[in-house]
Amino acid sequence: MTATAGPKAEPVDLLSPEVVADPFGWYARLREEPLAGHGTLNLGTMMGGPDMWLATRYDDVLQVLTDPRFLTNPPADSPMADIRDGIFKRMNFPEDLIPWMANKLNSADGEEHTRLRKLVSYLLTARRVNALRPRVEKITEDLIDRMVAQSSDGSPVDLVEEFCFPLPVTVICELVGIDEEDRADWHAWGNAMATMDAPNIPPALRKCIALSRELMARRRVEPKDDLVTALVQAQAEDPSRVSDDEIVGILFSLVTAGHQTTTYLIGNSVLFLLEHPEQLARLKADPSLWAQAVRELQRLGPLQFTQVRFPSEDVELGGVTIPRGAPVAPLLLAANTDPRKFPEPDKLIVDRLTVANETHLSFGKGIHRCLGQHLAYQEAEVALHALFTRFPNLSLAVPRDELPWILRPAFTRTKTLPLNLA
Ligand code: HEM
């Protein structure tokens, strides 16, 4: 097979209003209708960036995530070297802030990635996360009590604002060690990032960088049982393990990765379950199914794609040869709804996946596989079980087609989710 020179035909704009308004429909079309002469692949673009190959079938996406030749950084000598920073330059972002916009762990390759990942991974193991469960349950119950009080006159409650958002943000802030008084600033940062609210990102980012540095200084003097303390202690033992800027970057990675994703997993899952009453009835009859159900809900979950990869050499993928350095976007949602892997893929079937072998790609795979998966599953399981137990008659308070979907790429989510509790 000869090396294909690179994408040429008309690319699909992943940011276009049609695509963001109907991700399930578009991703299915991209998967089932590959571009002529491009094997099983398609072409896309985003935010005015260069053309990218789009991997949409399960096997192709899995290969992009697990083949060690696919890196998260383009080769330094390739025309793609500026691809990430270029997005922010086009948004007129202050130059000094651009390096902070990359997820520190996610955007590292090779030994740098292994070193940073090791520092964080032991704090998020299944065992440590299980020990957190009573605390997650307590935060959940408190939020539910607050919603009950708010809705004592029978008025609807916005689940996103009152529950889906505060639960994960409180948990991740406690785990990382963000002090209570600083959390509103981190919320503002998370919100600005999630909505790509360009004017508000720089001030929110500057504020949180300063807060991170102050926090590190405080924990050096007064250690606590949290991740910031663990990181500054690791640095004190051996300064070559992690620099100050890397610690700040790790805090950003965790707080950003740890709340928006889980917020919308919980919100979308409530909606899915209300729309699949027969599956909800199965969960009510047998609560032991929740652990499996959150895996199936995550298969159809909010994340549409993850970061672009770049082959370190020419690589065969989906029947074509991708040239070294060409960007390839793994479309997770398309893979998770590939009928070759999941029969009747658009159907929610709460016991489709098992805890031991969940197969979906929503947490990625390979060396960058999500470090927060145990935490995200635990939060979703505790939250959904508690909500549907406390409110057996939970229902949408507005017609389905009036839900305000946020038309942004990468995530499928509604801005608000007004519900009747009783
Ligand atoms: C519904 C919830 C979540 C989803 C859908 C999700 C999704 C993902 C995906 C797809 C990746 C792999 C990215 C890639 O390969 O390019 C990833 C990586 C990561 N996630 Fe999550 N995540 C979730 C929750 C969390 C939580 C709660 C945390 C923190 C506690 C977290 C922390 C991370 C980190 C640090 C990485 C980078 C790992 C690395 O590059 O080695 N995530 N996540």
Q: How far, in Å, is the centroid of ligand 1 from the Cα of 172?
A: 13
pLDDT of residue 198: 78
Our CA angle for 307, 23, 278, nearest 5°, is 115
Q: Each residue of 180-236: pLDDT tens digit?
A: 999 888 888 877 876 677 788 889 889 999 999 999 999 999 999 899 999 999 999
Q: How far, in Å, is the centroid of ligand 1 from the Cα of 371?
A: 6
The alpha carbon dihedral of 330, 176, 302, 101 has a sign of negative
Computed over every residue of the chain, the mean pLDDT equals 90
Question: What's 260's domain CATH number?
Answer: 1.10.630.10
Q: How far, in Å, is the centroid of ligand 1 from the Cα of 281?
A: 30
**Cα 189 to Cα 385: distance, rounded to the nearest angstrom:** 29
In a domain? residue 6: no
In a domain? residue 370: yes
Q: Region 74-81: what's the mean pLDDT?
A: 80
pTM given for the model = 0.92
In a domain? residue 346: yes
Number of domains, the chain: 1
Work out which ligand 1 atom sits closest to the CA atom of 72.
16
Residue of 61, 253, 362, 370 to mutate, ligand 1, most atoms within 8 A of C-beta: 370
Domain of residue 394, residue span:
12-420
Q: Region 67-85: what's the mean pLDDT?
A: 84
Q: Is the pLDDT of residue 342 over 80?
A: yes
pLDDT of residue 201: 85
Q: How far, in Å, is the centroid of ligand 1 from the Cα of 358?
A: 16
Comparing 117 with 79, which gets the higher pLDDT? 117
What confidence tier does 409 reach under pLDDT thresholds 50, 70, 90? low
In a domain? residue 2: no
pLDDT of residue 255: 86
**Cα 270 to Cα 384: distance, rounded to the nearest angstrom:** 7
Q: Is the pLDDT of residue 9 over 70?
A: no
In a domain? residue 7: no
pLDDT of residue 407: 66
C-alpha dihedral over 251, 83, 369, 279, to 10 degrees?
A: 100
What confidence tier does 258 reach under pLDDT thresholds 50, 70, 90? confident
pLDDT of residue 125: 87
